[in-house]
Structures are given as structure tokens and as C-alpha cells.
Amino acid sequence: MMGRLIRILLGLRPADAITIIFLIFLIALSLLFNKYIPKAPYLITLYITLLSSQIAIIKIKETGKAFRFIHDLFFPALCVLVVFDSLEWLVHHVNPEDIDPILIKIDYMIFNNHPTVMLERIVTPFLTDLFQIAYSTYYFIPISFGVLLLQNKQREDFERSLFLILFCFYLSYLGYILMPALGPRFTIDHLHNAELKGFLVAEPIQKCLNYLEGIKREAFPSGHSAVALVILYLAYRFRKGFFWISLPIVLALIFSTVYCRYHYVVDVIAGFGLTISTIILGEWYYEWWSRRRLSS
């Protein structure tokens, strides 16, 4: 049974396989910790629904452009967002020990101060607006890059990119489960003297993100940094024009994770490590899968 499942997964495109594997992992985790998770029935139903939808989409994707769009862009984006939203009801019941004290100590050892407190020297309404906008581009860069590749008929490059981006997302979610952390906006808020107020857009964006993201303990590693860097790597390989356009945006995004107090600096460092792991492991698997597909 297990051998047959592995053979089936190996026959799927890597993006679909990694989504199925991660959803099976979440279902198993929810079942294992069922008595500790208040919303376990809801989560199990949610993950089974996503898993069933993924399997159904694989089977009907060739029936038209609409299903191709769902398969390529809509469902992967939906799955990433829905799974991320579900972590609020999962992480702290599976692993109740936050690692914020460790992260705070590491940051303090490096800088002899708290980086978010140090950055108060440069806080202005203009910069707060600017970096809050930069932080929110994280939600649009992956979709923009995928659409660009498809519009330019770079199907093979798109398939590889989709897999690596999803792989990075799911690895970051695994990190949140194993090492939950709230981030400095919650843990050391009492040390901050300057409020992050913008002219026009900072507060609405903050309220929107707080509503969408909630308290999911998703600080470590910085998925914002990792995913954005993976896209930079892919853009440099496949669409250098997009790379040069997105480079300053991604650099601002990474800086904004600390400026806007969502992450410790050590989270960003871990995000760089996650990027490297994603590229090394993901590229190795994709190359192996490609050779296997050609030889079969």
C-alpha cells in the first residue's frame, strides 16, 4: 500500500506531489493530537477537503483552460493561504512551547540590543508606510512571477518554479510547527517607545494583515524572506527583467520584516537558510524527477 502510494506520488508533477504529502502530514498530525486540538474535527475536514480537491483537479485539469488555470495558479495559491490560516488552530496545541526567549537572546547577543528598538531611531511616517507596503508585496510577488512565466509560454520553468515556491512555503510551515514564535511585535512590545504610524496606508495594512494572519506563531523562520529570495533566485534564472525589478522590492521586504516588528533578525537569518535548503533539496528532487520522467 505504502509502496503504491509512493509510486503514484512520484508519477505526479512535483508541485502536486508536495501539496498532497504536506496535506497528508497535516491530517496525520491533527489525528495524532486530536484530543489536544479544540478544532481538530474542523481541521481534519478542511485538510481532507483540500486533499480531495487536489486529487480531483489533477484528474480533470486537461479538460479546458479554466481547469488549467485552477491547477496552475488558483488552487496552489488557495491551498497555501488556507493552510497558513489553519495554523492558528493547530500550532500551539501541537507544540505549546514558544521559542521567543531564545530568539530574543540571540538577537541581543548579536547586536547588544533589540534590533526593533534600535530601529526606532529611523522610524518616520513615510518609512513606515513604505516598509509596510514592501512587507505586503509578499502576497503578490509569487503570483506575478507565475503569471509572467505562463504568459511567456515558459511552461517547464513555471513547473519548476511552482514546485520550489510551494516547497519553501511548506517547509516554513513545518518550521512554525516545530519552533513556534510570536515575534517582537507581541513579545517585546513593552520595550518599544515609538509607534509605527504612517501617513495613509500603514495602519489599514496592519489591521488587514492582523485580521488575515492572526496570531499563528509564524515568526521563525521568516517565510517572507525565504519565499521572496527563492523567487529572486528563480527570476535570475528564467526572467532577468523581473529579477532586476523585484530586487529592490525584495530587499525592502526583508528589511521591513524587522522594521515593522514582525520578525527578529535571527528569523531572517533562518529565512536565508531556508532558501538555501529549498534550492538545494528542491532542485535535486526536480532534476531526479525530470530524468525519471524522460526515461519512463
The model's pLDDT over 265-276, given as tens digits with 9 standing for 90+, comes to: 999 999 999 999
Query: What average pLDDT does the segment 145-160 reach?
Result: 94
Instruction: Write down the pLDDT at residue 2.
Output: 61
Q: How far is CA 88 from CA 20, 35, 176, 256, 291, in A?
A: 21, 17, 10, 23, 39
Three-state DSSP class for residue 181 = strand
Burial 79-114 (b: 16+ CB within 10 A, else e): bbeebbebbebbbbbbbeebbbeebbebbeeeeeeb
Query: What average pLDDT does the segment 142-153 reach?
Result: 94
Instruction: Write down the pLDDT at residue 213.
Output: 64
Query: What average pLDDT does the segment 9-35 reach?
Result: 92
Three-state DSSP class for residue 218 = strand
158: CB partners within 8 A, 6+ apart = 72, 146, 149, 150
Instruction: Write down the pLDDT at residue 246.
Output: 95
Q: Is the pTM of this model over 0.75?
A: yes
Cβ atoms of residues 13 and 19 within 8 Å: no
Residue 33 to residue 160: CA distance in whole angstroms: 34
Summarised one tens digit per residue, pLDDT across range 207-240 is: 777 766 666 788 899 999 999 999 999 999 999 9
Instruction: Write down the pLDDT at residue 197.
Output: 86
Cell numbers given for 202: 500603514
pLDDT of residue 194 exceeding 70, the answer is yes
